[in-house]
Chain A
Amino acid sequence: MKPMMRQGEWLGLYVASVAVALGVSAILIRATGGDSLAVFDALIEGSLTGSGRWGLTLGAAAPMLLVALGTIVSARAGLVNIGQEGQLLIGTAFAVYFGFRIGGPGPFNLVVLLVAGSIGGALWAGVAGVLRFRRGVPEVLSTLLLVTVASQVTAYALGREWLLLASNSVGARNNVSEQLAEDNRLPNLNIFGNQIPSSFFLGVVFAVIVAFALARTVWGFQLRMLGRSPQAAQRAGVSQRSFGMRAMLTSGAFAGLAGTVMFAGGGFQFSNYKFVPGFSGNIGWTGLLVALVARERAMPAIAVAIAFGALRTGSSFVGSTGVEARVTDVIEGLLVLALLVPPAVMFIRDRRRARAATTART
């Protein structure tokens, strides 16, 4: 079969499944008495065409991309880490705690924030890693359960002044950390009238690094070997325990970094440079979906993250159409579900073709 035709087939499948997802969303909006075209218009205006929205979309995409990169690393090693939401929260909590404790001048403090955030996320993922490799608890489940624990831990810390609670908040609104000082924030770059947050470029740089590391380094090869066949990896001297643990820590570190970027980064305002309960805002889950849709490859994850970031920023315009903004969550879920279909269909078709080819030859 010619490669052109094959690519056409891929494209056709993807277009068809996206169309089905959007069609179902439109029917749902119609059925609940909304105007589906207005909703899609609002989504596009809120994410792309509105003034300054591009920058916001990229700002929202940045943490999703970082979470996705972490997911890609762990998934390639054959681990199902699906607790990024919790790792992101704990990472941010670490960043906030050490950022305000250590202080220091702007750029130095920014580095402290990013490093502390990564360590926090890595530690939380490490808990699931230890449970997996020492106690045989499936990481699918422990990471999920740790999400709930993480949100309670951060809520606890936000209620205590010796941990995260702002010291001047007595009597005022509770459960808010101090605001990050202006010179400690991640800067924005002004391009064509859009404030593009530097966090997005950070994400892209990391995407390139991850893509290169996975495809072209010994470490990446060992990681992929572990994911494809643990037995073969074991015989070749790649210990599941130490390598899997490292993959787990890396993936947690990326989630923690994503949280820190949300806290310190500009662009889409997650919570005005303050840490609050429910800070993560489903970015961890969405980032995970980004990795899945990108089929665990780093470079496509950039494009997918932008698309999902656009859904996020677009949703703030949907309210004006009279349709509940939560509808974007539904659109997002349907899109992901639909995008799982083409690879699966292609897999089955390829097998059928291979079988037909072998029977024709004999």
Chain B
Amino acid sequence: MDFVNGLWDAISTASTYQNAALFAGLLIFAASGEWVAERSGTINISVEGMLLSAAFTSAVGYTVTESFVVGICCGVLGGMVVAGVQAEMSHRLVADQFVVGLTLNILILGLAGFLDREIDLTTKTAEKVQIPLLHRIPLVGDAIFDQPWPFYLLFVVVPVSWWLVFRTRWGLEVRASGEDPQAADVSGIDVNKRRRQAIYYAGLTSGLGGAFLLFVQVGRFDEGVVSGRGFIAIAAVIFGGWTLRGTVAGCVIFALALGLRLQLPRYYEGVPTELLQAFPFLVTILGMAIFAKRVRPPAALARPFIRGLK
């Protein structure tokens, strides 16, 4: 009973939603780009590395210039560099996309750990901007409408991703590359080029995500800032059935799990910390186990396209 009361208290405090909103922001930034990449036919597991790389480069950018704007631009650059390696190696050369992604993740983790010890970084979180009126919504108002300003980029990135994929010729070609690359190729679409571009887009949004992580959520870089959340973002895309709506919903659900994990110990101490740590990942696995069979992935997901080879 204590547990239920504690859980209820944790669910009904605003600070749970504050934390959840921050996690959701990170996940949505990463997942909206990942979603585009997956619609083009790539499971881009280097999202984890993109986030970490971006967090690091944005920290460097801020340390040098003390400007958040420059920091964010550097973050985008950091994400795009990783995207470049992933895209060129898996869709220009034909190295396996998982192999490249995994190697990149390990390389970036090593690089971040090494450079973090070699370079002194001084960063902080950006100042909060309150949206008048809306922030007074009970429980979730502060969480969504009283945040440091990079948070509001979310409200740009998600619609832009949707517009790109569903309202432009480019998006149509991206989707064609993910569904039926042979047919797309015959109709004159450069399938691998579209896939590379989709990965670059994932690098861009993950770059924003990494900068967000640094300037909004944690304020200070260390090599453990991402620690598997990039993978949760990928899971959100699968959970959402490769629709943007579902992906964002998945991000919010997994973020609530992440936020609850931080708040619950204040109200109920009986849950082992290890279980709390594993909780968001268990929720993610469970979410996929329930929904993965009900949805249809892009038909050519994770299949490399080589002309003449089916």
* A residues apposed to B, CB below 8 Å: 28, 32-33, 80, 82, 131, 135-138, 140-142, 144-149, 152-153, 155-156, 159, 285, 288-289, 292, 324, 326-327, 329-330, 332-334, 336-337, 340-341, 343-345, 347-348
Residue with the highest number of chain B CB atoms closer than 10 Å, among A136, A288, A345: A136
| Cα-based distance from A344 to B117 in the complex (angstroms) | 35
- Which of A140, A146, A148, A348 lies in contact with B43, CB distance below 8 A? A140
Q: Is the CB of B98 within 8 A of A131?
A: no
- Do residues A327 and B114 form an inter-chain contact, with CB atoms below 8 A? yes
Return chain B residues, CB-CB under 8 Å to A142: 285, 288
B275 contacts partner chain A, Cβ-Cβ < 8 Å: yes
Known: A137-B292, A292-B99. A145 touches B110 (CB 8 A): no
Q: How far is the CB of B81 from chain A (nearest CB, A)?
A: 13
Residue B293 CB within 8 A of the other chain? yes
CA–CA, A359 and B104, complex, Å = 39
With A138-B238, A152-B274 in contact, do A336 and B98 touch (Cβ < 8 Å)?
no
Question: Does B232 make an interface contact (CB < 8 A)?
Answer: yes
Interface size class of B (residues with CB under 8 A): 35 or more
State whether A348 and B95 are in contact (beta carbons under 8 Å apart), knowing that A145-B232, A329-B109, A340-B89 are contacts in the complex: no
Among listed B148-156, B158-166, B242-250, B276-284, interface-contacting one: B276-284
B15 sits at the interface (CB 8 A): no
B12 CB to nearest chain A CB (Å): 27
Please report the C-alpha to C-alpha distance between residue A344 and residue B304 in the assembled complex, in whole angstroms: 13
Does B234 belong to the interface (CB within 8 Å)? yes
Tell me, rounded to whole Å, the shortest Cβ–Cβ distance linking B27 to chain A. 14
List 23 A–B pairs whose Cβ atoms lie within 8 Å, in order of A's numbering: A28-B114, A135-B292, A137-B238, A137-B285, A137-B292, A144-B45, A144-B228, A144-B231, A145-B235, A148-B281, A149-B278, A149-B285, A159-B272, A288-B102, A324-B114, A326-B117, A329-B106, A329-B107, A330-B111, A344-B89, A344-B93, A344-B94, A348-B93
CB within 8 Å for A341 and B95 given contacts A145-B281, A330-B107, A330-B111: yes
Residue of A32, A149, A285, A332 with highest tally of chain B CB at under 10 A? A149
Known contacts A337-B85, A347-B94; A152 and B278 CB within 8 A of each other: yes
- Given known contacts A135-B293, A337-B103, A330 and B110 CB-to-CB distance under 8 angstroms: yes
Q: How far is the CA of A285 from the CA of B93 in the complex (A)?
A: 24
Closest Cβ neighbor of A344 among chain B residues: B93
Decide if B115 is an interface residue (CB 8 Å cutoff): yes
- Given A326-B113, A329-B113, A340-B95: A136 and B107 within 8 A (CB)? no
Which residues of B lie under 8 Å from residue A80 when comparing CB positions? 98
**Contact across chains for A337 and B114 when beta carbons are under 8 A apart:** no
Measured CB to CB, the closest approach of chain B to A99, in angstroms, equals 22
Residue numbers in B under 8 Å from A32 (CB-CB) = 114-115, 118-119
Contact with A along B285-310 (1 / 0, CB 8 A): 10011101100000000100000000
Q: Which of A135, A146, A159, A348 contacts B94 (CB 8 A)?
A: A348
B100 contacts the other chain (Cβ, under 8 Å)? yes
Interface pair B274/A159, CB less than 8 Å apart: yes
A111 nearest CB across to chain B (Å): 30
Q: A149 near B238 (CB under 8 angstroms)? A: no
Q: Which of B103, B117, B288 contacts A340 (CB 8 A)?
A: B103
- Asked if A155 and B274 sit within 8 Å, CB to CB, the answer is yes
Q: Which residues of B contact A327 (CB under 8 A)?
A: 114
Chain B: residues with CB nearer than 8 A to chain A?
Answer: 43, 45, 85, 89, 93-95, 98-100, 102-104, 106-111, 113-115, 117-119, 227-228, 231-232, 234-235, 238, 272, 274-275, 277-278, 281-282, 284-285, 288-290, 292-293, 302
A109 smallest CB distance to B (angstroms): 28
Given contacts A148-B227, A330-B114, 12 further A-B contacts (CB under 8 A): A33-B118, A80-B98, A135-B288, A141-B43, A141-B234, A289-B106, A326-B117, A329-B106, A329-B113, A329-B114, A343-B95, A348-B93
Counting chain B CB atoms within 10 Å of each CB, the highest count among A144, A155, A159 belongs to: A144
Query: With A136-B292, A333-B107, A347-B94 known to touch, is A146 a contact of B285 (CB < 8 Å)?
Result: yes
* Bound CA span A337–B110, Å: 13
What residues of chain A lie closer than 8 Å to B234, measured between beta carbons? 141
| B284 and A131 contacting across the interface, CB-CB below 8 Å | no
Most interface-central of A159, A288, A329, A341 (chain B CB within 10 A): A329
**B238 near A345 (CB under 8 angstroms)?**
no
In angstroms, how far is the closest chain A Cβ from the Cβ of B91? Answer: 11
Residues of A within 8 A of B93 (CB): 340-341, 344-345, 348
Of B114, B278, B289, the residue contacting A137 (CB under 8 A) is B289
* Interfacial chain B residues near A336, Cβ < 8 Å: 103, 106-107
Across the A-B interface, give the 9 residue pairs with the lowest CB-CB distance, nearest first: A333-B107, A329-B110, A344-B93, A156-B274, A152-B278, A136-B293, A326-B114, A152-B274, A32-B118
| Nearest A residue to B98, CB-CB | A80
Question: How far apart are A203's CB and chain B's nearest CB, in angstroms?
Answer: 22
B274 pairs with A131, CB closer than 8 A: no
- A145 to B274, alpha carbons, bound, how many Å? 15
- A155 CA / B277 CA spacing, docked (Å): 11
In the bound assembly, the distance between CA atoms of A155 and B273 in angstroms comes to: 10
Closest residue of chain B to A82 (Cβ to Cβ) is B102
- For B111, the chain A residues whose CB sits under 8 A away are 329-330, 333
Which residue on chain A has the smallest CB distance to residue B99?
A: A292
One of B110, B228, B232, B293 near A332 (C-beta < 8 A): B110
**Given the complex of chains A and B, what is the CA–CA distance between A137 and B291 in angstroms?**
9
Q: How far is the CA of A321 from the CA of B228 in the complex (A)?
A: 32
- B114 contacts across to A, CB distance below 8 A: 28, 32, 324, 326-327, 329-330
For the complex, give the distance between the alpha carbons of A340 and B106 in Å.
14
Closest chain A residue to B85, Cβ basis? A337
Give the distance in Å from the alpha carbon of A241 to the alpha carbon of B43 in the complex: 22
Contacts of A341 in B (CB 8 A): 89, 93, 95
Are the CB atoms of A140 and B95 closer together than 8 Å? no
Q: How far is the CB of A26 from chain B (nearest CB, A)?
A: 14
Which of chain A's residues have a CB closer than 8 A to the CB of B277?
148, 152
Bound CA span A152–B285, Å: 15
Return chain A residues, CB-CB under 8 Å to B94: 344, 347-348
List residues of chain B with CB within 8 A of the CB of A141: 43, 45, 231, 234-235, 238, 288
